[in-house]
Amino acid sequence: MSETQIFEYKSGLDPEQLDADDPLHGELMRLNIGPQHPATHGVLRLKVTLDGETLESCEPVVGYLHRGKEKSCESLGWRKFFPHTDRLDYVQPFLNNVAYALALEKLAGIQVPQRAQEIRVLLMELSRISAHLIYLGTTAIDLGAITMFFFTFTEREKIYTLLDAYSGHRMNNTYVRMGGLYADLESDLVAEIRVWVDSFPEKLDEFDSMLTANRIWHDRNAGVGALTKEEALAWSLTGPNLRASGVEWDLRKDMPYSGYEDYDFDVPVGTTGDSFDRYLVRMEEMRQSVRLCRQALDRLEKSTGSDWLLDDRRYVLPPRGRTHESMEELIFQFKVVTDMSLPKGEAYHAVESSKGELGFFVASDGTSDPLRCHIRAPGLMNVQAIPLLAKGRLLSDLMAIIGGLDFVMGEVDR
Amino acid sequence: MNPLLALLIKASAIYGGLLGTAALMTLAERKISAWMQYRVGPGGILQPLADGVKFIFKEELVPDGANRWIFRLAPLMAAMPAMMTVAVIPFAGDVSLFGVDFGPLSITDLDIGVLYVLAIGGLGVYGIILGGWASNSKYSLLGGLRASAQMVSYELSMILTILAVIAVTGALDLRAIVAAQDSLFGWNIWTQPLAFVLFVIATFAETNRHPFDFAECEPELVGGFHTEYSSMKFALFFLGEYCAMIVMACLTVTLFLGGPAVPFIPDAPWFLGLAAFAVKAGFFLFLFIWVRWTLPRFRFDQLMGLGWKVFLPLALANLLVTGAMVSLF
């Protein structure tokens, strides 16, 4: 596995490949799919060359959603970049927040309190479920099962209602801070989340019964977009796509963070690496996330009342009321807001997001202006695999491949 | 009564019923899908009317480089055949209303009604192919090509299933086929169960309905053959599709479920027969909607595989067995 294979695909046409005598091999058709197209999950553009309906080549063009996020971090400063991380992979804001916060905390050398870690784990797993539900719904709608989309979005809506109750925002929550969170998770909300977590496996079984044994769904996905272990590693795929190919690699297990090493969960692994295995892996991951949520909820019930924010005035704002009473706290608040600097150095921290390894590389020169922030977006690697997977397949398979790889353009283009 | 006047009245009633049902079907489709998806859906019986008015006032677009004549002709070619085939469907027996005798409730009873339905019904796909070709759009072209590939792979087995029915009843006239299944257990569904299943699946392909709607296939081809169509031309394609669904449901009822025959009531009055026909056809119309909002879509080469490797051998074997049984007994 250490050998690196180099794959190449041709964007142009090689006339010699075509058999001139074969009447069925005529002129190839170039088709431009996207950036506005029902199945491109945002603004992905695919330059496709078709022989009949067979894909001769497929070239993704990214960058239509480029907003200069990495550069924004350099000009905004460390704290103000948090809301921007929400908008990377906008179906899982909490995971992005935490990934960024963990990188900053690693650079600063601070450790968040136990309860903050528990809340983070709970919300990360809820985000993972909601992101996987979007995968399921959009892939199903791409393959024609429109009702499935509404079923998954109904469940996702319930997650968003819970997140709304916690943070006041349905989507871009921005509730993670360096050293902890913006607010504690109230115990009645913990109970509400538990009600939903208990109800979800039943729904998951319903989704399962609608799709897994469905012959059409199986035929559309099985064997489509198959990647071997070596290919998946060579294309630096991570997350469910890598695990579907049979590589047991989950950052939560292999490079634990936020206390994941103390939780009991399994990592589902596929065998064939095709779209159907990717689907099965994600379905099982949702079940495992439910397990994780339950454990986190148990711990949260026990740890009620303990610290959920680090008491470190270098990086953490003082509680709101205190600034009116204490001169020092007012100064600290002023310093953190205007001039928070991280120690000189660099750090990289990655989390297992719903799409794969989501990593933030942050470099600081010791001043309050960030030197560099690079985002390792798993979606970009997933997009890179499209040409390899699409070659020689039918146009209809392209939708199963795009859906199965699961990426969000906000993260790919950044 | 003047037979010409009676015919005129019957024809208006049947076409009014067809178009009215087609309009109601668009409402039913949206409402039933809403129920299935925890949504509210459109409210009110006037929704189809509002849709129609909207379509009329939309801007008509003909893309650059399109073949204007064929582009304009194609929606008509798609909508016409479905409306023409309804002429031979026997909806009920002899109708007498207010003491006036109108004769049997069908526009005409052709001796070769089945052949007429197949011949005219097969033309419907030309509208899709030509519409897709004339649009000068790659997505439309692919949709048109898919429609033509689809047509050759299912229509053969569909005709073979009908042949089995003809072998059992010994008639090409749809009214004679209905007459041959007068009692509940004389319905062709009992003697030809395999042909019934194959035919029903083939009707989904014939009408370009989900899970065989490759010709439009929104996630891949945006809208397929009707990508470039707007306004009433677009509406005509849809009218054609819904009329085709209704005709196919009627044909299924006529061929396999005894048409207007009412179970356990021999010699039922015509209005009971018509009601029985409506209930039976209504079930198949519901089936069209039910399947559309439940199943994922096939890949179009999978339909070809299904058509050639599964349906055709099954239909041939069915015809062979039927032929042997008919000649032996």
Question: Do residue B220 and residue A151 have CB atoms under 8 angstroms apart?
Answer: no
Q: Residue A21's pLDDT is what?
A: 56
> Concatenated DSSP letters for A56-109?
EEEEEE--TT---HHHHHHHH-TGGGHHHHHTTSTT-HHHHHHHHHHHHHHHHT
What residues of A are in contact with residue B142 (Cβ under 8 Å)? 31, 50, 53, 395
- Contact criterion met (CB < 8 Å) for B219 and A143: yes
Report how far residue A335's alpha carbon sits from residue A338's, in angstroms, rounded to the nearest whole number: 5
Structure tokens at A182: 């913006």
How many residues can be counted in chain B? 329
Asked if the Cβ–Cβ distance from B298 to A216 is below 8 Å, we say yes
Q: Do A150 and B299 touch (CB under 8 A)?
A: no
Q: Which residues pair with A360 in a beta bridge?
A: A349, A375
pTM for the whole thing? 0.86
Residues in chain A closer than 8 A to B295 (CB atoms): 144-145, 214, 216
SS3 of A109-172: the string is: CCCCCHHHHHHHHHHHHHHHHHHHHHHHHHHHHHCCCHHHHHHHHHHHHHHHHHHHHHHCCCCC
A396 vs B37, B222, B300: nearest CB: B300
* B145, B295, B302 member nearest A145 (Cβ): B295
Could you tell me which chain A residue has the CA closest to the CA of B213? A144
**Residue A9: what pLDDT?**
46
Q: CB A150 to CB B217 under 8 A?
A: no
Nearest to B296 among A52, A150, A220 (CB): A220
In terms of CA atoms, which chain A residue is nearest residue B34?
A147
* Residue contact A147–B218, C-beta within 8 A: no
Asked if A29 lies within 8 A of B138 by C-beta distance, the reply is yes
Identify residue B293 by its one-letter amino acid code. W
Q: Considering only CB atoms, which residues of chain B are within 8 Å of chain A?
A: 33, 36-39, 138-139, 142, 145-146, 210-211, 213-214, 217-220, 222, 293-302
Distant-in-sequence, close-in-space partners of A20: CB < 8 Å, separation ≥ 6 = none
Instruction: Judge contact between A378 and A128, C-beta under 8 A.
Output: no
Determine, for residues B220 and A398 on separate chains, whether the beta-carbon distance falls below 8 Å.
Answer: yes
Q: Do A144 and B33 touch (CB under 8 A)?
A: no
Domain architecture of chain A: domains with CATH? 15-61 (no CATH), 69-413 (1.10.645.10)
Closest CA to B214 of B285, B289, B132: B132
| Angstrom distance (rounded) from CA A200 to CA A292 | 13
Tokens coding A269: 């692994």
C-alpha to C-alpha distances, B110 to A98, A218, B114, B171, B175, nearest whole angstrom: 74, 45, 9, 11, 9
Please report residues of A whose CB lies closer than 8 A to that of B36.
147
Contact B298 A220 (CB under 8 A): yes
Under DSSP, the state recorded for B183 is: S
Question: pLDDT truncated to tens, each residue of chain A (414 aa)?
Answer: 445 555 454 445 555 555 555 555 567 888 888 787 776 677 888 888 888 788 888 888 888 888 888 888 888 888 888 889 988 888 888 899 999 999 999 998 898 998 999 999 999 999 999 999 999 999 888 888 888 889 999 999 999 999 889 888 888 888 888 888 888 888 889 999 999 999 999 999 988 888 888 888 888 888 888 888 888 898 889 989 999 998 888 888 888 888 888 898 999 998 888 889 999 999 999 999 999 999 999 998 888 888 888 888 888 888 878 888 888 888 888 888 888 888 898 999 999 999 989 999 999 988 888 888 899 989 888 898 888 888 888 888 888 888 888 888 888 888
- Contact list, B300 vs chain A (CB under 8 Å): 53, 394, 396
Q: For B293, which of A39, A53, A147 is closest by C-beta distance?
A: A147
Task: Name every chain B residue with its beta carbon within 8 A of the beta carbon of A214.
Answer: 295-296
DSSP track, B253-275? HHHHS-TTPPTT-TT--HHHHHH
- Which of A119, A289, A93 is CA-nearest to residue A190? A119
Cβ atoms of residues A299 and A193 within 8 Å: no
Structure-token match 């600063």, residue found: A108
Closest CB from A53, A147, A397 relative to B37:
A147
The 3-state secondary structure of A97-110, one letter per residue:
HHHHHHHHHHHHCC
Distance from CA of B291 to the nearest CA of A (A): 10
Residue of A142, A147, A397 to mutate, testing the B interface (most B Cβ within 10 Å of its Cβ): A147
CB of A35 within 8 A of CB of A264? no
A394: nearest CB among B294, B297, B301: B301
- Give chain B's residues under pLDDT 50: none
Q: Decide: residue A48, CB within 10 A, 0-12 exposed, 13-18 middle, 19+ buried.
A: buried
- pLDDT score, position A1: 43
Do residues B108 and B85 touch, judged by C-beta distance below 8 A? no
Summarised one tens digit per residue, pLDDT across range B249-306 is 999 998 888 888 888 777 777 888 888 889 999 999 999 999 988 888 888 888 888 8
Chain A residues contacting B via beta carbons under 8 Å: 29, 31, 37-39, 50, 52-53, 140-147, 150-151, 154, 211, 214, 216-217, 219-220, 394-399
Q: Which of B141, B220, B290 to mutate to probe the A interface, most A CBs <10 Å? A: B220
Q: How many CB atoms lie within 10 A of CB A182?
A: 17
Q: What angle do CA A395, A397, A398 make, to 5 degrees?
A: 70
Compute CA distances B123 → B60, B76, B77, B207, B302, whole Å: 25, 11, 8, 12, 24
> Nearest to residue B129, comparing CAs of B154, B150, B101?
B150
Q: Chain A: nearest CA to B310, how far in angstroms?
A: 15
In angstroms, the separation between the Cα of residue A237 and the nearest Cα of chain B is 25
pLDDT of A102: 92
Residues of A whose CB is below 8 A from B34: none
Sign of CA dihedral A192, A195, A196, A197: positive
Other Cβ atoms within 10 Å of B66 Cβ, number = 19
**To the nearest whole angstrom, how far is the Cα of A30 from the nearest Cα of chain B?**
9
Task: Give the integer Cα–Cα distance in Å for A87 and A104.
Answer: 18
ipTM beyond cut 0.90: no
Facing B293 at nearest CB: one of A29, A146, A398: A146
> How near does any CA of chain B get to the CA of A398, in Å?
8
- From B230, B74, B55, select the one nearest B141 (Cα to Cα): B74
Residue in chain A nearest B306 by alpha carbon: A216
